[in-house]
Amino acid sequence: MRDIIAISLIIFFGFVLTGVAYCKENPGKTVLTMGRVEETAGIVQKRLGPIVRYLAYKLKDMGIKQGEVLGGQSNATIIKYLKDGSLDIVIEAAFFAVLYRSKTNAVPILFSWRYGTRMLSSFIFVRNDSGIMTLEGLKGKVIAFEDLGSTPEYFLPKIILEGKGFEFVYLDSPHSPVPEDKIGYVFAGDELNITSWVFYNKVDGGALSSAEWSEEEVNPKNYRDKFNIIYSTPQVISAVVLLRKGLDEELAKRIKEELLDMHKNDEGLQALKPFKVDKFEELSESILENIEDMLIIPQKEEIY
């Protein structure tokens, strides 16, 4: 379960641009590590393995011989890895990046484009014959999310609704009982399962990225025709790249350069595909302008 700090994205970007000095480390470093929170080692390996191996290949001239994935099932684990120096790079949702920065002084450097856009929102939807017309109607019902690692299909809609006062309870099965004053949730595993489970009445509602709503492979038209969107979250960036404090300054510079250039060659594009990333972009003042009207989420710390 995740140790989550939910705070305003405005606060997050406030520290991004201030800059943090890197320290020199052992010049004999040969292994580059990358990680994030996922439910299983297999998922994080599938999503990040190609990226870190691509980086290792590109950084051979700096003595890097191998790229390894280091995942965890909780934020506490990732924080430990960042603090003890075993994890070099993290790619995570902006909300979690705030937590890692505050706990470890990790340095946010880039953010990802996904589905052809720099900003995403989440749609919460139900069958149009369900009788559910508002978020209040989800109380006592079950909603399907993708998995712990998804921003638009899990964390974003969940934390926004919690900021509005809704309470969630995790369920082992869609058939588990739900307290009438709470929203039950299950993990479907992928986007197509989310839409299929709603379509076939396995669950009462689902969460899906706005960018994937009209994708036939994920949400076929015969599904969409039966769905009703009852809420759309504010837009946020999908994921942030952070480097651990203490990473060699020249190595950090090269990592940033290589990530920014990944989408410009076939090998890089292939490495980005499993994580559904189009490209990386540098955090800048323009990002701040885009989130001026962002919903400010009350600050709180909770165990999930």
Same domain, 129 and 190: yes
Same domain, 153 and 220: yes
**Most confident segment among 127-136, 145-154, 234-243:** 127-136
Residue 195 lies in a domain: yes
Residue 2 lies in a domain: no
What is the tens place of the pLDDT at every residue in 248-296? Answer: 999 999 999 999 999 999 999 999 999 989 999 998 655 644 443 443 4
| CATH code (residue 146) | 3.40.190.10
Same domain, 143 and 197: yes
Same domain, 156 and 211: yes
Residue 197 lies in a domain: yes
| Cα distance between the two ends of the chain | 5
**Pair 223, 195: CB distance under 8 Å:** yes
Same domain, 218 and 253: no
**Residues of the domain holding 225:** 122-233
Q: What pTM does this model have?
A: 0.76
Same domain, 270 and 184: no
d(CA 280, CA 168): 33
Same domain, 170 and 36: no
Same domain, 109 and 246: yes
Confidence of residue 27 (pLDDT cuts 50, 70, 90): low
d(CA 101, CA 79): 9
Residue 18 lies in a domain: no
At residue 98, the pLDDT reads 78
Residue 299 lies in a domain: no
CA nearest to 111, candidates 229, 227, 275, 284: 284
